[in-house]
Amino acid sequence: MFFLLSKLLHLFLMPFLWVLLFLFLSLFLKKPKYKRRFLLSALAILVVFSNPFLEKEAWRAWEVPATPVRKVAHYNVAIILTGVTGYREDMADRIHTHKGADRFLHPLQLYRLGKIDQFLISGGDGRVTGTAVPEAEQIEKILLMAGVAEEDIITESNSRNTHENAVNTAKVLQHHPEWKNRLLVTSAFHMRRAQGCFTKQGIAADPYSTDFYSGPRYLTPDETIIPSISAFNNWHLLIHEVAGYMMYKLMGYL
């Protein structure tokens, strides 16, 4: 039930949906003052959420900063949270990745540098219907193709959200007391919630943020005043993550 509610929350927190709703109300309400208010509200949302400068500042405030590769110590295991692959029945013989593929590419770099010994990949099927190949298995295939030794990869493919990632990872760690030093790898915007969940389960792991939406601060017109459709889209992800963090707090997962 919680998994389904999280999917519905993702839909209702979409700024574009708010714009459509307010425009609809401005067209069909009879009282002029309400029509004007909803129209102005729709325009305000469009202006604010399409501003790239405001979007980047919001990401910069929320994301957990990067750790330079040169400062990464040696770790027994990198715990990789999934959520970055897709699945298509018509092309099931391929592995499809999204923007967040840095979640496994960056720890792969650390593995090649001898800073990581093994991988623990946590994540199942993110579909509501539960009909896709678990994401942990898909990422495992990619790492194997990249030359990672099979014995250095352990998968946990039952988790469907961050809370379950932490709970199920804790169970796996009980069988690996040799993993004293652990690195938690996920997207920078997702690291706050992930760290909170893992700490709640008594798992000590250092954060290694990847997949950044923020960037250097530029004061050029295209970065400050020219509207950006990508900024509008990215706000949806950030709002959803902040709402998810608050919901996890209420549920006692953090």
The pLDDT of residue 104: 97
- Band (pLDDT 50/70/90 cuts) for residue 145 is very high
Residue 171 and residue 88 share a domain:
yes
- Residues above pLDDT 70, as percent of the chain: 93
Residue 84 and residue 201 share a domain:
yes
Residue 241 and residue 187 share a domain:
no
Residue 77 and residue 47 share a domain:
no
- Tokens representing 91? 């092309």
Residue 151 and residue 120 share a domain:
yes
**CATH number of the domain where residue 181 is located:** 3.40.50.620
- Band (pLDDT 50/70/90 cuts) for residue 87 is confident
Going from the C-alpha of 214 to that of each of 101, 139, 194, 211, the distances in angstroms are 16, 25, 19, 9
Domain membership of residue 88 (yes or no) is yes
Residue 199 and residue 108 share a domain:
yes
Tens digits of residue pLDDT in 190-202: 999 999 999 999 9
**Which residue's entry shows tokens 């997702």?**
190
Instruction: Judge whether residue 161 has pLDDT over 90.
Output: yes
Residue 117 and residue 181 share a domain:
yes
Residues 6+ apart with CB under 8 A from 240: 9, 10, 13
Residue 75 and residue 198 share a domain:
yes
Residue 126: domain span: 69-210
Instruction: Judge whether residue 128 has pLDDT over 70.
Output: no
How far apart CA 218 and CA 19 sit, in angstroms, is 28
Domain membership of residue 220 (yes or no) is no
- Band (pLDDT 50/70/90 cuts) for residue 210 is very high
Q: How many CA atoms lie within 13 A of 144 on its CB side?
A: 13
- Which residues share a beta bridge with 206? 183
Q: Rounded to two decimals, what is the model's pTM? A: 0.90
The pLDDT of residue 86: 85
Instruction: Judge whether residue 109 has pLDDT over 80.
Output: yes
Residue 190 and residue 111 share a domain:
yes
Instruction: Judge whether residue 152 has pLDDT over 60.
Output: yes
The pLDDT of residue 129: 59
Average pLDDT, rounded, for the chain: 92
The pLDDT of residue 8: 66
Instruction: Judge whether residue 127 has pLDDT over 70.
Output: no
Residue 132 and residue 45 share a domain:
no
- Tokens representing 26? 């401005």
Instruction: Judge whether residue 92 has pLDDT over 70.
Output: yes
User: DSSP string of 37-70?
Assistant: HHHHHHHHHHHHHT-HHHHHHHHHHHSPPP--GG
- Residues above pLDDT 90, as percent of the chain: 80
Strands (E), 63-115: 75-81, 85-86, 96-97
Domain membership of residue 218 (yes or no) is no
Domain membership of residue 90 (yes or no) is yes
Residue 119 and residue 185 share a domain:
yes
Residue 237 and residue 181 share a domain:
no
Domain membership of residue 108 (yes or no) is yes
For residues 135-171, b (16+ Cβ closer than 10 Å) or e, as one string?
bbbbbbebbeeeebeeeebbbbbbbbbbbbbbbbbee
What is the number of structural domains in the chain? Answer: 2
Domain membership of residue 216 (yes or no) is no
- Residue 251: CB atoms within 10 A of its CB come to 10
Domain membership of residue 221 (yes or no) is no
Tens digits of residue pLDDT in 5-64: 666 666 778 888 899 999 999 998 989 999 999 999 999 999 999 999 999 999 999 999
Q: Are 158 and 125 in contact (CB under 8 A)?
A: no
